[in-house]
Amino acid sequence: MIVVTGAAGFIASCLVSRLNAANFNDIVVVDNFSVAKKEGNLKGKKIKEYVDRDGFFEWLDDNYEEVEFIFHLGARTDTTEFNKDVFDLLNLNYSKQVWNACCEYQIPLVYASSAATYGSGTLGYDDEEATIPLLQPLNPYGDSKNDFDKWALEQTAKPFFWAGLKFFNVYGPNEYHKGKMASVIFHAYNQIKEKGSMKLFRSHHPDFADGEQMRDFVYVKDVVEVCMFLMQHRKNSGIYNLGSGKARTFMALALNTFDAMGIEPNIDFMDTPENLRDNYQYFTEANMSKLRSIGYDREFYTLEEGVKDYVQNYLMEGKYY
């Protein structure tokens, strides 16, 4: 039996699909299942039991002997939310409860951290654990993820295997419900479909031309492959970057989206909203050598490959993974 928290969400629902494909069908999904727009993410998947997130720890007390692994991917992920209490409740304290339960019941754990922990990137994007206490995220969401990473590293009691994954800019199927927090590719596709054109944020940084802001975009299919690897690997506990390892420009992303749709590029620029400018990351790129060093050897999707697969096989078809 494998537990996936946040299972109705984007990355976690893709993981459930990947687990099913590998013949793991005793999946227990944990979430707040009252959000109707997430229902398509789990439709048709092989699931043993649905557990409300508020009742999860009671359920685990009764069923821990059957649980082989926990993927804790549930979190509040809105980077524009500034109510710290929300993040303390859902991201920090809930995660501490998951960790402590995994220690008590000797269940291996993979949990979601975030590249938002790196803040402006002044300390780089190396997943060396010694630098984690020095990081300065740019928003309460990033703070909550870094606070938990720091807390986990300080614990004397740890699950016999655990890994925190610093997700970079993940994109791919099953993000239909995410609204403004969906990937730029998702928004680009919908703008192009509706208007035949799209807008990118103008640069407000002298070192970056308009559209040349860079991110490490990682396809969700790569993210779930890393999760599968860690579930089977179960050694070398620690915190790991999870990006493609290659920064690409928003312009490249936009041009690839037009290309995948078979439409001539038509790109305009708009000012970055003032409330976002101070906290805007102009460059992110995951150093992936740590994950590689423990034996992960699959090639990651290039931006070209990932955008084409996402646009043509999911967005244009209205399909889920």
Binding site: which residues?
Answer: 10-11, 31-32, 38, 53, 73-77, 145, 169-170, 178, 180, 187, 201-204, 215, 280
**Active-site amino acid positions:** 141, 178
DSSP-derived letter for residue 62 is H
Q: How far apart are CA 115 and CA 285, in angstroms?
A: 9
Distance, C-alpha 240 to centroid of its chain? 13
Q: How many residues does the chain have?
A: 321
Q: How far apart are CA 52 and CA 59, in angstroms?
A: 9
Cβ–Cβ < 8 Å for 220, 172: yes
DSSP-derived letter for residue 232 is H
HEC profile of 86-155: HHHHHHHHHHHHHHHHHHHHCCCEEEEEEHHHHCCCCCCCCCCHHHHHHCCCCCHHHHHHHHHHHHHHHC
Q: How far apart are CA 220 and CA 112, in angstroms?
A: 13
Question: What are the tokens at 222?
Answer: 């790569």
Which residues belong to the annotated binding site for NADP(+)? 10-11, 31-32, 38, 53, 73-77, 145, 170, 178
DSSP-derived letter for residue 23 is T
**Residue 72's beta-bridge partner residues?**
5, 111
Other C-beta atoms closer than 10 Å to the C-beta of 133 total 11
Cβ–Cβ < 8 Å for 93, 144: no
Dihedral Cα 293, 298, 303, 306, nearest 10 deg: -140
> Which residue, among 11, 245, 32, has the nearest Cα to 127 in the 3D structure?
245
DSSP-derived letter for residue 65 is G
